[in-house]
Amino acid sequence: MAAATIHAGLEILYTRDQISKRVAEMGEQISRDFVGQKVVLVGVLKGATIFLADLARCISLDATFDFLSTSSYGKGHQQSGEVRLLKDVDHSVEGQNIILVEDILDTGLTLSYLRRVLSAHQPRSLKIAALLDKPARRIQKIEGDYIGFTIPNKFVVGYGLDYAERYRNLPDICVIPPSALGDE
């Protein structure tokens, strides 16, 4: 783990180079698993956008994009336990191979909910690609099919992940110290 700090008090957990290498491996794996088939990459707004953009370019298949949106933590980092769908997919995914692309698998509430929502659209197959997995916080039993990194129970930002909408544009994944997190 790199010890360098950026943006006052943030510690780098994964550098842009480590992320890029791992995302390429994930793309290669998906390309192998679905060789000769089409896939729909369904990103969860907004956190998964940067991961989806990079992952998509490492997938050598005929791929299309769609996006879903759920209610989030609000401004802070607390999980209320309630997930609501704010935006469904734009196009029919019936009979398609869906890769649900998410930034982080934490309590599992969001992806369990979205898996149910997407299953109702009767896809041909439904897989989950999450850049990060925080298994220590799991409430709902769910596992990703493609996981970038398994991380400890720390609140991370960067590479699409925010804290009160900030830090999404950091190219690295960084940890915010608990003392800097409000209880919003």
Which residues have a catalytic role annotated?
106
Task: Indicate whether 104 belongs to the interface with ligand 5GP (CB under 6 A).
Answer: yes
Q: Phi-psi region for residue 167, left (φ > 0), alpha (ψ -120 to 50) or beta?
A: left
Quote the tokens at residue 146: 């493609």
Q: Is 133 in the site for ligand 5GP (CB under 6 A)?
A: no
Q: How far is the CB of 60 from ligand 5GP (least distance, A)?
A: 27
Which of 54, 102, 133, 172 lies at the binding interface for ligand 5GP (CB under 6 A)? 102
Q: What is the DSSP string of 20-79?
A: HHHHHHHHHHHHHHTTTSEEEEEEEETTTHHHHHHHHTT--SEEEEEEEEE---TTSS--
Residue 63 touching ligand 5GP (CB under 6 A): no
Query: β-strands 97-105, 125-133: how paired?
Result: parallel
160 contributes a contact to ligand 5GP by CB under 6 A: no
Looking at beta carbons only, is 26 or 61 nearer to ligand 5GP?
26
- Binding pattern for the stretch 18-37 against ligand 5GP, x by CB under 6 A and - elsewhere: --------------------
Is residue 42 a contact residue for ligand 5GP (CB under 6 A)? no
Which neighbouring-strand residues pair with 125? 97
φ, ψ of residue 66 to 5 degrees: the values are -150, 170
Determine if 108 is a binding residue for ligand 5GP (CB under 6 A): yes
Q: Residue from 39, 56, 101, 106 that binds ligand 5GP (CB under 6 A)?
A: 106
Q: Which of 55, 45, 3, 50 is nearest to 175 (CA)?
A: 3
Q: Which residues bind ligand 5GP (CB under 6 A)?
A: 44, 47, 72-73, 79, 102-111, 155-157, 161-163
